[in-house]
Amino acid sequence: MFKSSFLESFSKIHFSVPLIVYIPIISYLIYLSIAAGSLSLLALLGLFLTGLFIWSFVEYFMHRFIFHYQPSSKIGNRLHFIFHGVHHDYPKDAYRLVLPPSVSLPLAFLFYCLFKVFVTGAALYSLFAGFLLGYLIYDMVHYALHHHTFKTGFLKRLQRRHIIHHYSEDDKGFGVSSSFWDRVFGSYSDNRTGAASSQYEK
């Protein structure tokens, strides 16, 4: 994507890197939320699940309205290609399926600051831990949908919809780790022809 090999190195990442980066952060946030002692475990669990739910919406919103936004300027198109277009052009590229920390960490910090406007202390730590876990699940599910073949169950259904998103209906199926918001906002794909599925079922 870049003429500079230095910049190019920041655009590629092994799928295990987010696990190495975010599991310690999530664990520490959970520890802080419990150690604060200001909320019950049930309240912390509720906040944690709320963070997961908030992430599911952010995942959908960013994929649909930011990653699939079609700019008119040359610079805008270049940025669109860097952030998401390259993935649609090369969906099997194993090193461009999860967000590099150079992108995800600044975004995470911005969301942390946003959450801090509304909640603080133990509530903030638990809510944000759930949010980050949602992101981590998204990254791992996305990688798996592109590099594993699921035969049955929930992941198989997710994979079929994601393949359809890539190969036949890129205006639908914006949820990667869940189809909930696609159903809410009318972008759910119920294409059952299976034509696109052959791309991954070889």
Q: Where are the domains of the chain?
A: 5-148
**pLDDT for 37-93, tens place per residue?**
899 999 999 999 999 999 999 999 988 888 766 766 766 555 544 555 455 555 566
Asked whether the beta carbons of 115 and 128 are under 8 A apart, the reply is yes
Query: Quick count: other Cβ atoms within 10 Å of Cβ 75?
Result: 8
DSSP 196: G
pTM: predicted TM-score of the whole model, two decimal places: 0.83
Q: Is the pLDDT of residue 155 over 60?
A: yes
**pLDDT tier at 171 (50, 70, 90 boundaries)?**
confident
Residues 87-143: pLDDT tens digits? 555 556 656 678 888 889 999 999 999 999 999 999 999 999 999 999 999 999 998
pLDDT at 198 over 50: no
φ, ψ (nearest 5 deg) of residue 114: -65, -45
